[in-house]
Amino acid sequence: MKKEYLIYKLSEEMKEATRIDTELFSKFDVKRGLRNEDGTGVLVGLTRIGNVVGYERVPGGGLKPIPGKLFYRGYDVEDISHAIIKEKRFGFEEVAYLLLSGRLPDKEELLSFRELINDNMPLEQKTKMNIIELEGNNIMNILSRSVLEMYRFDANADDTSRDNLMRQSIELISKFPTIIAYAYNMLRHATFGRSLHIRHPQEKLSIAENFLYMLKKDYTELDARTLDLLLILQAEHGGGNNSTFTVRVTSSTGTDTYSAIAAGIGSLKGPLHGGANIQVADMFQHLKENIKDWTSVDEIDTYYTRMLNKEVYNKTGLIYGIGHAVYTISDPRALLLKELARDLAREKGRESEFAFLELLEERAIATFGRVKNNGKTVSSNIDFYSGFVYEMIGLPQEIFTPLFAMARIVGWCAHRNEELTFDGKRIIRPAYKNVLDDLAYIPIKKR
C-alpha cells in the first residue's frame, strides 16, 4: 500500500472515529469548552491574582450586563493606568511587581526591581546564537523553543521551591523582550534581506523602551508609553483564559517552569486566542479599501450586514474585535487603550483613520444587535484597537501575538506560582465520558 494512500485512508477513517452526536453533550450535561449553558465559565479553581468582571448575577439565576472591570490583586486597572498616564511614566514593571508579590512596591523597591529586570535582560550567548540560526517565520515558535532552551542553562531548572519559582519568573519576564526583538530582526534579515541588528538592552530603560530600542532603535516617548500601557492591560486576565489555564494545568503536574510556559505559548499562538489582533488589523485594512466614504453610517452598516451574512470579506460571519466571553457593556482595556491611541494618531497624522475606526466600532455594535437580534449585549474588546496601535508605533504583524506573550508572561508566572505554592494544590484532571460501546477483540486472522 502506498504511503500517500495510507495517510488518506487513515484520514478518512479518522473522520468517522471522531464523530460524536452533538445531542449527547446535552444528554450527559457536558460543559463544552468548560462553559455553562449561559456562556459563563465553569468554576474550577480559586485565585487571588486577577478578576475579570462583565456581568452580575440577579435573583433567579440570570445575568445582568454591567460595564467591564479588570482587577489586579484587588486594584482596579483603570486606577492603575490613569495614574501612570497622568504622571507620564512607565508602569509595566510596577504591575509585574504587584502581580508577582501581591502588593504595590514603594519607590525604592520599584527601583531595585527595575534594576533586577535590566540585569536579567541579556541572553546566554548560546541562546542568542540559537535564535540567529533558527529558520522559519513564526516568532511564537521561536519564543517557545527559546524558553525550552533556557532549561539547559538553569542549574535548578526542576526546583519548584518558592524562591526558585520567583527567580525563574523574573528571568522569563526579563528575557521575553530580548528574545522577541532578536527573533524578528533575524526574520527580517533571513526573509527580507535586511541588515541584521543585535542591539543589547540598555540600563535605565523600561521594558517597553528597551524592547523598541532592540527592535528598531528609533521611537518616540509616546510610542513607548503606549506600548507600556498595552503591556499593562494584557499582563493578566484571570485564571480561566485558555493560555493561563494551560499553564496552571501543566504546572499542576509538577513539571518545570519552562515546559509549563512553553505550553502557554502554544495556547496563545492559536488564532482563537492570541491571534485575534492580527485578524482585526487585516479586517480594518479591508474595510479601508472597500468602504468609499469613511464617514457614511449607511455604507458601513450595509457592509457590516453583508459581513455578518457571510457575503463579503472572509465570509466567516464574524466582525473581529467585537464581543468577549466575559465583558458585555464594555471592555475596560479597550476604553483605556483608546485614550492613548487618540494621542498617538494625532502624533502620527492618522486622525482620519482613528475616527474611521471609532465609527466602525460604534456601527459594529449597532449592526450586530440589529442583525443577530438575540438579546446579547456586546462591546468592542482590546483587540479592536491594539492592532492599529501596534501599526502606528511601527511594529510588524509578525510580532503582534509575541507582544501579547511578552505581557502575559507576568500573569502566567503569577498563576503558576500560586498553583504550586498554595496548600490545596492538586493535579487538574477533569473527566471525559466515553460514548462508544464496548467491542470484542477480533484476532488479526479474522479481520
- Looking at the annotation, which residues are catalytic? 324, 383
Are 379 and 324 in contact by the 8 Å Cβ rule? The answer is yes
> Maximum CA pair distance of the chain?
79
* Backbone CA torsion sign across 78, 82, 324, 327: positive
The set of residues, in sequence order, having a beta carbon less than 8 Å from that of 141 and lying 6+ positions away, is 269
Sheet hosting strand 63-72, strand order edge to edge: 50-57, 63-72, 75-76
> Beta strands 75-76 and 50-57: pairing type?
unpaired
Q: Which residue has the cell 546566554?
A: 124
Q: Which of 170, 172, 181, 161 is nearest to 259 (CA)?
A: 172
Orientation angle between helical segments 332-348 and 383-393, nearest 10 degrees:
30
Among residues 344, 342, 347, 379, the alpha carbon closest in space to that of 357 is found at 342
Per the CB < 8 A criterion, the answer to whether 219 and 213 are in contact is yes
Sign of the dihedral through C-alpha 250, 256, 261, 267? negative
Helix axes 400-421, 92-101, angle to 10 degrees: 20
Q: Tell me phi and psi for residue 343, to 5 degrees.
A: -65, -40
Instruction: Write out the three cell numbers for 351.
Output: 486622525
Cell numbers at 417, concatenated: 506560582
- DSSP character at residue 342: H
- For residue 277, the tally of other CB atoms under 10 A from its CB is 27
Q: Which residues contact 64 (CB under 8 A, 6 or more apart)?
A: 55, 56, 57, 58
Q: Please state, in angstroms and rounded to a whole number, the distance separating the CA atoms of residues 189 and 197.
A: 9
